[in-house]
A and B are shown apart, each in its own frame.
Chain A
Amino acid sequence: MSMRGLPIFIWTQGKLYLREPIATFFTIFFAPLMLVLFGLMYGNEPNEVFGGLGSMDVTVPAYLGIIIVTVGLIGLPIQTSSNRELGILRRYRVTPLRPLTYIVADVTSYWVMALVGVVVLVVVGKLAYDVRFEGSILSVLAGFTLCTLAFLAIGFVIASFAPSARVAQTVGMVVAYPMMFLSGATIPYELLPPTVQRIADFLPLTYVVRLMRGLWVGEPWSDLWLEVGVLTGILVVCGAVSARFFRWE
């Protein structure tokens, strides 16, 4: 199947993303900024609550979850529904651009943006707090990719059903923000009260945070099958739902 136009489309989408100041701030600068703020308060001294790791050592991989949820549940639904609302998607439909090419380009550009955010976060964590990393870069990249795809799929579901960009934005934020605080992405899971921990077990983002923290310290994939399974399930189900219900106009 022809994927004509893919590289230029990815490049264009990326440039457009970086021209949205708010999206750029929340994807690339928000997590490092929070990291510095919390680092000033808690430092990175080894702590037995985190099994001998410092607060920053667990926060950096957990913050990957914040970047992923921002891109997937806020960035993608707003952008996609507003492109639909403005008739931009319709305009593409009367060109030879294939729908699959559009989706692959869109997903790739969001993945790249999230990756840029992750790199900035890790560099800040390394420079400011000498954050420990005991995993493999390849595994972390693979895990990050799975998490990002799963959350982009959730984002496509929101974009499929939201009647307008405004609704997509509201739904995205209502789902994303509480989840950031209840899943261990902002406040480490270990510090959450038991009731909140039980809620966290039902939130998709919790599995992102667990997977990324696990891979960060070099846990083998075999110990993380539950997280991988949950996220793959989300990807498959949400992918199928949005393939069925996605509207171009």
Chain B
Amino acid sequence: MTEPVIAVDALEKSYGSVRAVDAISFEVAEGEIFGVVGPNGAGKTTTIECLEGLRAPDGGRVHVLGLDPRRDGDALRERIGAQLQQSALPARLRVGEAMRLFASFYARPLDPEAILEGLGLADRKKVAFAELSGGQKQRLSIALALVGDPQLVFFDELTSGLDPQARHATWDLVRDVRAKGKTVFLTTHYMEEAERLCDRVMIIDAGRIVALDTPAALVRALGAEQRIAFSADGMADEVLGALRATPGVERVEWSGGRVVVYGQSDRLLAPILDVLQDAHLSFHDLQTEQPNLEDVFLAQTGREMRD
């Protein structure tokens, strides 16, 4: 087994009397997209900043690429790339200049032109930072995080403030980063983003780990029921009976032309479609509702994510 890229043991950090991070431990493996998710103030940024060496932990041990971020900061910073929350560039600095400047900081930088090309910024090289759109600024911040050819990349709230379309496009870019063999550590307060993008998710709240696993395992562990609903003009009793008899189905409701099937299995849809097919029943407006990470957070903390 290879050494973890990040190893954190009982990390603690307080600001005054507030415990921002309260004895959390976790490991991140090479090549993972690892996400930290939680509401504002949960300790996400504090955690990432301890890993980057921007903050000194009050307690616990932190190893990143086998290095102590505070003691071996210079060596570590050669091998990581980072996008920071609430960090800008000089307003009049142009995209191409920013890339050349940041490339000059590293011992073995990648070709800035190629990175800009890959992120769709090649035609923006002469544009000043202040003139870029929100999505372009984020793409530039990814480009700057990659220019030093890092093994590990940190993204802190990479997609906050972006519209859904730009957010989805950014997810593809993050997947590309991982496809290049880099490990990605990111924070987000979008549950959907964590679920869709991350291999493993650590949910934190008030500085403590609430749950840590793959998104699918977290949802499965919840044991929450799945719902499949559809509309049908007529419904024979024997069809309802067949649905009730389908493995995994717990109950079926039928009212006002709409059928709702409840069950535990995450393989509910195919057998139900088979039943409808066999009965030659015409249906429309089929919807499936699966429990997601929002439900995991709700179940674990008793609160909605968005407060």
Which residues of A are interface residues toward B (Cβ below 8 A)? 4-5, 7-9, 12, 15-16, 19-20, 83, 86-88, 90-98, 249
Tell me whether A4 and B105 are in contact in the complex, defined as CB-CB below 8 angstroms, given that A90-B54, A94-B80, A95-B148 are known contacts: yes
- Contact A91–B100 (Cβ < 8 Å): no
- Contact B102–A93 (Cβ < 8 Å): no
Q: A9-B101, A87-B86, A88-B89 are in contact. List 16 more A-B contacts (CB 8 A).
A: A5-B101, A5-B104, A8-B101, A9-B104, A16-B93, A87-B87, A90-B54, A91-B89, A94-B52, A94-B77, A95-B77, A95-B102, A96-B74, A96-B105, A96-B107, A97-B105
CA distance A142 to B130 in the complex (A): 38
- Find chain A residues with CB under 8 A from B105 CB: 4-5, 92, 95-97
Give how many B residues have a beta carbon under 8 Å from the other chain's beta carbons. 27
A-B pairs with the 8 shortest C-beta distances? Answer: A87-B87, A5-B104, A8-B104, A86-B88, A94-B82, A19-B92, A95-B105, A97-B105
Q: Out of A12, A19, A83, A249, which one reaches B101, CB within 8 Å?
A: A12
- Find chain A residues with CB under 8 A from B54 CB: 90, 93-94, 249
- Find chain B residues with CB under 8 A from A12 CB: 93, 97, 100-101
Assess whether B68 is interfacial by the CB under 8 Å rule. no
- Find chain A residues with CB under 8 A from B87 CB: 86-88, 90-91
Within 8 A of A (CB), among B52-102: 52-54, 74, 77-78, 80, 82, 84, 86-90, 92-93, 97, 100-102
CA distance A86 to B90 in the complex (A): 8
Q: Can you show 21 pairs from A to B with CB atoms below 8 A apart?
A: A4-B106, A9-B104, A12-B93, A12-B97, A16-B92, A19-B92, A86-B88, A87-B88, A88-B87, A90-B84, A91-B84, A91-B89, A94-B52, A94-B53, A94-B154, A95-B77, A95-B148, A96-B78, A96-B148, A97-B105, A249-B54
- Find chain A residues with CB under 8 A from B80 CB: 94
CA distance A83 to B89 in the complex (A): 8
Return B89 CB to nearest CB of chain A, in Å: 6
- Find chain B residues with CB under 8 A from A9 CB: 101, 104
CA distance A244 to B97 in the complex (A): 32
CA distance A97 to B78 in the complex (A): 9
Q: Chain B, 131-146, contact with A by CB distance < 8 Å: what is the 0/1 string?
A: 0000000000000100
Which residue among A16, A88, A95 has the maximum number of chain B CB atoms within 10 Å of its CB? A95
- Find chain A residues with CB under 8 A from B144 CB: 91
CA distance A5 to B106 in the complex (A): 8
CA distance A37 to B238 in the complex (A): 102
CA distance A93 to B87 in the complex (A): 11
- Chain B's closest residue to A98 (CB) is B74
Q: Chain B, 102-119, contact with A by CB distance < 8 Å: what is the 0/1 string?
A: 101111000000000000
Which residue among B86, B93, B100 has the maximum number of chain A CB atoms within 10 Å of its CB? B93
Which residue among A4, A16, A94 has the maximum number of chain B CB atoms within 10 Å of its CB? A94
Return A82 CB to nearest CB of chain B, in Å: 9
- Find chain A residues with CB under 8 A from B93 CB: 12, 16
CA distance A51 to B93 in the complex (A): 49
Q: Chain B, 230-254, contact with A by CB distance < 8 Å: what is the 0/1 string?
A: 0000000000000000000000000
CA distance A92 to B86 in the complex (A): 13
- Contact B106–A96 (Cβ < 8 Å): yes
Q: Chain B, 158-172, contact with A by CB distance < 8 Å: what is the 0/1 string?
A: 000000000000000
- Find chain B residues with CB under 8 A from A19 CB: 92
CA distance A92 to B97 in the complex (A): 15
Which residue among B80, B102, B144 has the maximum number of chain A CB atoms within 10 Å of its CB? B102
- Find chain B residues with CB under 8 A from A5 CB: 101, 104-105
CA distance A90 to B80 in the complex (A): 15
- Chain A's closest residue to B93 (CB) is A16
Return B87 CB to nearest CB of chain A, in Å: 4
- Contact B90–A16 (Cβ < 8 Å): yes
Return A88 CB to nearest CB of chain B, in Å: 6
Return A94 CB to nearest CB of chain B, in Å: 4
- Find chain A residues with CB under 8 A from B74 CB: 96, 98
CA distance A16 to B101 in the complex (A): 12
